[in-house]
Structure 1
């Protein structure tokens, strides 16, 4: 016969395991949610440039009230720069900085000489906040996103 203490322990272990799975399912992934040619739809005209110029090769904006981050690069339409991962370099309170990881371009692939936007959308990482400026790094490019 199984004691009530054994049943209680098994129940607590099962509840703890279920909690771990539920909490890990809530954490956003670091891979892109989507990517597409063109610009994202602006939310209330929110988008800012660190330098104020429109010629930047990198732009970023909050989407869905800060739940997602859209990163737009400009370049060849046949060889777009597409982010494959987002890494938190400095969490909120310590710099609020992310890096967009992109693969090395294939030097043997011919690319057109046009200059068009391409957008990659990521879930906003849990370690950053919309209540501080967010610095987005992609290669040598830097973009500071204003407070949401």
Structure 2
């Protein structure tokens, strides 16, 4: 095993194992700190004013949940982005294949990544179209509730 192999092994381990674990740890730690702060705020409010409506306080402190329409539009946005990137990567792979002399794997890698992105984009776009049809009544009810509030 050469020194390049060991360095490559560390890069793969760092990227595939340590990085995701670190990201999850930091996200959970931030969420726990946020919950701890919320608890302290509620306890302080109770100590100062025992007659406070806790349910209303918690409702005001909660981040408002995204509407169905916003969630669907986010899927449309990600679908379009992945679709366009996929088409671009496939085009880039074809361009590399036409301009390279010899057997390079770069065009195949680019085309493969492009096909994956294209499939993900199509899945998001299909999810948007199906969700828009299935959730039309729920979205109308949400809009009515927002207008009344």
**TM-score, reference length from structure 1:** 0.26
Pick the structure with more strand per residue. 1
- Between 1 and 2, higher relative CO (CA 8 Å, sep ≥ 6) is seen in 1
- Larger Rg belongs to: 2
